[in-house]
Amino acid sequence: MRCHQTPKANLEDILDTLPISAICSDTETGKVTHVNPSFCEHFGFVFDDMTTMEEWFGQVLIEPYEFFQRVKPWMSQHTGTRSSATLDTTLLCKHRRQKRVSIRFTLLGDTKIWYLRDTTDHWVVEERLKVRGVMLEMVAKSSALSDILNVIVLQIQKESPQTVCSVLLFDKSEDRLRLGAAPDLPDFYNQAIDGVKIGMNVGSCGTSAYLNERVVVDDIAAHPYWQDYKALAAQAGLAACWSDPIRSSKGELLGTFAIYKMQPARPTEGDFELIQFASNLASIAIEHFRTQEALEHMAYSDHLTGLANRGAFFNKCDIILKDALDKKTPMSVIMMDIDNFKRINDQHGHEIGDLVLQSLAKACLAVLRRKDLMARIGGEEFAILLPETDKEEALIIAERVRVAIEKDTVVDRHHQLIPFTASLGVTCRSSGGCLTDKLLSRADKALYQAKADGKNQVASLDPS
Ligand X SMILES: Nc1nc2c(ncn2[C@@H]2O[C@H](COP(=O)(O)OP(=O)(O)OP(=O)(O)O)[C@@H](O)[C@H]2O)c(=O)[nH]1
Give me the residues that bind ligand X (CB under 6 A), please. 337-343, 345, 350, 353-354, 357, 379-380, 451, 455
3-state secondary structure string, 349-367? CHHHHHHHHHHHHHHHHHH
Pick the closest to residue 62 from 128, 123, 151 (CA basis): 123
Nearer to ligand X, 270 or 379 (CB): 379
Between CA 62 and CA 59 the distance in angstroms is 9
**Residue 457 backbone class (left: φ over 0; alpha: ψ -120 to 50; beta: rest):** beta
Nearer to ligand X, 280 or 345 (CB): 345
Nearer to ligand X, 195 or 306 (CB): 306
Helix (H) or strand (E) segment spanning residue 22: strand 21-26
Least spacing, CB of residue 176 vs ligand X, in Å:
33
What is the DSSP secondary structure assignment for residue 421, as one 8-state letter? -
Between CA 8 and CA 27 the distance in angstroms is 14
Least spacing, CB of residue 452 vs ligand X, in Å:
10
What b/e readout covers 183-215, taking b as 16+ CB neighbours within 10 angstroms?
Answer: eebeeebbeebeebebeeebbbbbbbbbeeebb
The answer to whether 56 touches 67, Cβ cutoff 8 Å, is no
Nearer to ligand X, 215 or 405 (CB): 405
As a dihedral over the C-alpha atoms of residue 30, residue 36, residue 39, residue 45, rounded to 10 degrees, the angle is 70
Least spacing, CB of residue 353 vs ligand X, in Å:
3
Nearer to ligand X, 196 or 377 (CB): 377
Nearer to ligand X, 243 or 305 (CB): 305
Between CA 316 and CA 322 the distance in angstroms is 10
Collect all residues with Cβ–Cβ distance below 8 Å to 436 and sequence separation of at least 6. Answer: 314, 317, 318, 321
What is the DSSP secondary structure assignment for residue 89, as one 8-state letter? E
Would you say how long the chain is, in residues? 464
Least spacing, CB of residue 408 vs ligand X, in Å:
16
Collect all residues with Cβ–Cβ distance below 8 Å to 219 and sequence separation of at least 6. Answer: 239, 240, 264
Nearer to ligand X, 335 or 368 (CB): 335
Nearer to ligand X, 266 or 350 (CB): 350
Between CA 83 and CA 80 the distance in angstroms is 8
Least spacing, CB of residue 346 vs ligand X, in Å:
7
Nearer to ligand X, 18 or 411 (CB): 411
Least spacing, CB of residue 402 vs ligand X, in Å:
14
Least spacing, CB of residue 406 vs ligand X, in Å:
14
Least spacing, CB of residue 345 vs ligand X, in Å:
5
Residue 326 CB burial class (10 angstroms; 0-12, 13-18, ≥19): exposed
The answer to whether 1 touches 47, Cβ cutoff 8 Å, is yes
Nearer to ligand X, 12 or 339 (CB): 339
The SS3 assignment for 432 reads coil
Nearer to ligand X, 290 or 451 (CB): 451
Between CA 157 and CA 259 the distance in angstroms is 9
Least spacing, CB of residue 282 vs ligand X, in Å:
40
Instruction: Name the phi and psi angles at 105, rounded to 5.
Output: -140, 160
The answer to whether 204 touches 225, Cβ cutoff 8 Å, is yes
Least spacing, CB of residue 321 vs ligand X, in Å:
27
Nearer to ligand X, 301 or 430 (CB): 301
Least spacing, CB of residue 414 vs ligand X, in Å:
18
Least spacing, CB of residue 362 vs ligand X, in Å:
16
